Amino acid sequence: MVKVQRIKCGNGNCYIIEEKGNAVLVDTARPKYRDKVLLACHKVNIRLIILTHTHMDHCQNAAFISKELNIPIAICKADEELIKNNMLQTLYAKTLAGKLVLFFSEKSFYHDKIPVFTPKIYLQDGDTLENFGISAKIIGLPGHTNGSIGIDFGKEGILVGDALMNMFYPTVSMLYHNYEQMLESARKISELGERIVYFGHGKPKKNRIWVK
């Protein structure tokens, strides 16, 4: 049975997915949470870092933790360009709350840095994590970024990164690079049926109909 541990890092989350003594770390948060995330990792057998996407609030500790644990980093190839420059895929917002989040996100994109790392594994929709001892598969969820991905572990839940958000309230992504893709990814999650949704931002909640 898959176990999911949420590591709350300010308004964002990292997760450890564990099964039968094997584990993967999903996202790595910002530098001030580095020690908190690393401490959680030391308690289990982390074999892989998966980044749901490469916005800096999800990957600023990727290089450090990869080196400390001597484990590879996996991303979707379509997000590799963002490692060097988060501004290469322009973000948009429709709601007032989204525009507020966008303002602070873009400010961070301009001023903060992502320590350089090189992904060793490229993941895409339908890939499994069986080689790392986890009964789960990758689900492509583009829209927030071109290469946004999630992790589907069946009826036990789905980890969606920023394809959906629960910062102020549960919603489709407040920020998007491609609006139609964002809606289609939300529909894709809805069609999976009832299960717990693990967000990149906010508390996990039971799934609902995000987009009809």
**What is the tens place of the pLDDT at every residue in 120-179?**
999 999 999 999 999 999 999 999 999 999 999 988 899 999 999 999 899 999 999 999
Q: Are 46 and 23 in contact (CB under 8 A)?
A: yes
pLDDT reported for residue 212: 61
Give the pLDDT confidence of 25-81 residue by residue, as tens digits: 999 999 999 999 999 999 999 999 999 999 999 999 999 999 999 999 999 999 999
pLDDT reported for residue 119: 98
Is the predicted pLDDT of residue 194 greater than 70, yes or no?
yes
Confidence of residue 99 (pLDDT cuts 50, 70, 90): very high
User: Does domain 3-206 sit in CATH 3.40.50.620?
Assistant: no
Q: Are 54 and 79 in contact (CB under 8 A)?
A: yes
Tell me the C-alpha distance between 212 and 183, whole Å.
Answer: 10
Q: How many CB atoms lie within 10 A of CB 180?
A: 10
